[in-house]
Structure 1
């Protein structure tokens, strides 16, 4: 077998071609956070009163008491901090208040069918087909949100938005990793999460000036059109093209990438030999993997067929929900604190910046496996420290929750990189889809964190988060180290990682 196994040996580990994909993914995650987190401004905490009764009767009552006393109210009035919210638009108060929470819940639920779609078809029809499908669905769902005439139309539209947002996010991560050289893969993979942070921090500023939920949704939807146009200048994954017998298309893409990175349209014989060598290596691995059945098509079931991939899959199915639950649980708890909504939102996003910087600086030296494991363990230990009563610091537990978020953010950033480096090209988005489904279990439970704190106290949450974080930290220790390896293209390639790279 020829020696050229790395795409970077042909087109370069980094250049204008990879930069285009990287910036496209960064902007995508900025806009993804808008649709994911804008619910806080669609349905903010709102004061209300019944216009059928004198203001003196309204002012002395709590929200619950108003609902109980004014059951026959025909006209509810809301404060003027916002021009229009889904609460004021459809009177989502009293016995209808659960519909407001349902709007966010179904968005998270949308990640599950999205994961199923990815698991079943993404590795068969290509990365760009899924990206274009998600754009179409997101734009149509966004338009439906803007012109919703009922809360139920809005809820269904949010479900479709969740499907589209998750679908594109997972596929873009896979596409970027298959395009980037191993020298830069770790750092840039972590930097991609910076797009989410930028969106998280900038959203309050946008929402401060746009206080109508329909116009805010229109802003998010129109922003997606920019990415849709940009996507026509993004190429299909070269590795996917080769593993799906599209050698001519793969060669054209490699020539384009080489020309962009080297600023030359002259392709020498040496480069062409490397292209042929690279294609033959990947095809030979694929032939070895499918000798038993020439009509073999990789499927999500392959995640459980071989021993090491099965082990890694089960670990990810457990660890990802833990990361999601702790991360979103702490984030939602911060959002429930008293104070200015916009300021709280910004602070919640700023907490993640030190985590990203810390991850960039240390992950390259400690590797992926130990870094993820230690951060989950430190998250658990931090939560346990929060159980220590300190009378002089009544907010001690709350402060430690911020530190716990710092550690779980580090873990979350790197475990996504690990996932894409461990699973082979033929299963990468299928694995990502199935892991997304598992991850959403944690994300859907997380919104109940504030209620659990109110009912059982913060020590209950600290104990629970500590327990599951420590379990996750121990499990990630059994994943293989993937730092500086060539990402595998076949099932056999992933099986060899576990045998050859145990450090």
Structure 2
């Protein structure tokens, strides 16, 4: 629907205001996704008679007054339960991405995003006061559901407003998450009790309740649902704020609705019917899984390497932050496949180096570099996936890739704890995967400078012929 941006512009004052409104929800996503670093840090304890394990250990509370580990004795044979808590949260994110994604297509972006915010605030605050491990874990799963909805629906809403600058906006969309991750270190530094920490990072999200009053609906969704009058009113409002003419919007939209022949919508099954689409979705799904697996796992791993945990978190967050800006010129001037493969290789090499050097500041540095390249490839993957699949199965492709990313993030905490089997185990387990993803990435077709596809046939032909027509409209199509 290139007509939308013809009428309201590609990026004006209203688009800027919308980004300012939507982007802050990524702070809460970062707080809750990465808070496990301070909710369940490695404990220091003593047992009677110098035993390794016991039922009544004496914990060193010098650094942390109370954590979920010390509260419920998640040590020795129960140590896996702290990883299960994070796994349950990430399973919630997976479920929320799917459930709220489907709901937003049926009921609209605005109501589903508002419900996500309300659920996030309520479940986050409730989690702070629950008295036992299992109720805490279940509540965090519902918190994850809300976070999944916020991230997916918020991203879709922004992308459905902006035009040709979507690649830049897509990269900047990740900036608040990295800033939130660094701010989490400050919360953790000043708040050493997990109950107060969980309550604090949840309470700050109350500000997002302004969505009830200020959040707009997507004009694209309104047109798809034949809510033409509401769409026209919204487009006229946006165009007026962006200092664009409004006189002929109604006529153009009504004419478009009359002339537009709606394409038959596809399903996720269509992604697996034909060989090229099947190859593309399998490789992209694995790419997203590896990115999430490395990003969350290595972040957790290096936060507890030698040195101050708070400095480690800020350092790793800073390099991820830089990745959000480094990737912009890369996407402008480099081919998608080339940049994807190169950054995967660099990420894998950096992580493997950690396995052969002593634990210390150098290992933290290589870990941060690995995170930098992982963040870059993650952002490229968002754009690449958006360009690779035709409109009729676009949402299905994004949904599958998002689901696989959550699988990676669920596996990550368990792999980060491989250190008990040997210091080299976790870095090797993280480093090999990007190298495998790089090799598979060579199978993907190039999409830079190509127009958006509409049909399954066009999607299947991508990569089967040497060239395609240059792109004339939007670089990312979310309908």
What does 1:107-122 align with in structure 2 at a 5 Å threshold?
107-118=89-100, 120-122=102-104
Aligned to 2:342: 374
Q: 1:67 aligns with which of 23, 37, 53?
A: 53
Cα pair distance change 1:427/1:127, threshold 3 Å? farther
Tell whether 2:326 aligns with 1:348.
no
Q: CA deviation at 1:138?
A: 1.7
Aligned to 2:172: 191
Aligned to 1:315: 283
What is the CA deviation profile of residues 120-145 of structure 1, one whole-angstrom value per residue up to 9, with x for unaligned ones? 54433322232123223222321320
Aligned to 2:402: 436
Cα pair distance change 1:486/1:148, threshold 3 Å? farther
Gap runs ≥5 in structure 1? 291-296
Q: CA deviation at 1:339?
A: 2.5
Tell me if the contact between 1:16 and 1:260 (Cα under 8 Å) persists in the aligned partners.
yes
Q: Give SS of 1:117's match.
A: helix
Tell me if the contact between 2:87 and 2:411 (Cα under 8 Å) persists in the aligned partners.
no
Q: CA deviation at 1:200?
A: 0.7
What does 1:369-408 align with in structure 2 at a 5 Å threshold?
369-382=337-350, 399-408=365-374
Q: CA deviation at 1:94?
A: 4.2
Tell me if the contact between 2:44 and 2:60 (Cα under 8 Å) persists in the aligned partners.
yes
Quote the Cα distance in structure 1 between the aligned partners of 2:71 and 2:95.
29
Aligned to 1:143: 125
What is the CA deviation profile of residues 262-297 of structure 1, one whole-angstrom value per residue up to 9, with x for unaligned ones? 1x7x6223x44443455456x32x1xx23xxxxxx6
Aligned to 1:205: 186
Quote the Cα distance in structure 2 between the aligned partners of 1:358 and 1:340.
27
Gap runs ≥5 in structure 2? 471-479
Aligned length: 468
Quote the Cα distance in structure 1 between the aligned partners of 2:214 and 2:451.
26
Aligned to 2:475: none
Quote the Cα distance in structure 2 between the aligned partners of 1:274 and 1:306.
37
Cα pair distance change 1:365/1:502, threshold 3 Å? same
Tell me if the contact between 2:271 and 2:281 (Cα under 8 Å) persists in the aligned partners.
yes
Q: CA deviation at 1:423?
A: 4.5
Q: What is the Cα-based RMSD across aligned positions, in Å?
A: 3.3
Q: 1:244 aligns with which of 219, 225, 232?
A: 225
Aligned to 1:446: 412
Quote the Cα distance in structure 2 between the aligned partners of 1:237 and 1:494.
26
Quote the Cα distance in structure 2 between the aligned partners of 1:126 and 1:493.
28
What is the CA deviation profile of residues 91-124 of structure 1, one whole-angstrom value per residue up to 9, with x for unaligned ones? 3344443332322121112233224425654433
State the TM-score, normalized to the length of structure 1.
Answer: 0.82
Quote the Cα distance in structure 2 between the aligned partners of 1:102 and 1:321.
19
Q: CA deviation at 1:456?
A: 4.5
What is the CA deviation profile of residues 317-339 of structure 1, one whole-angstrom value per residue up to 9, with x for unaligned ones? 22111212222332222023132
Tell me if the contact between 2:83 and 2:414 (Cα under 8 Å) persists in the aligned partners.
no
Q: CA deviation at 1:76?
A: 4.6
What does 1:31-110 align with in structure 2 at a 5 Å threshold?
31-49=28-46, 61=50, 65-68=51-54, 71=55, 73=56, 76=58, 78-110=60-92
What is the CA deviation profile of residues 453-482 of structure 1, one whole-angstrom value per residue up to 9, with x for unaligned ones? 442452x55555554323322433454555
Tell whether 2:210 aligns with 1:229.
yes
Tell me if the contact between 1:177 and 1:185 (Cα under 8 Å) persists in the aligned partners.
yes
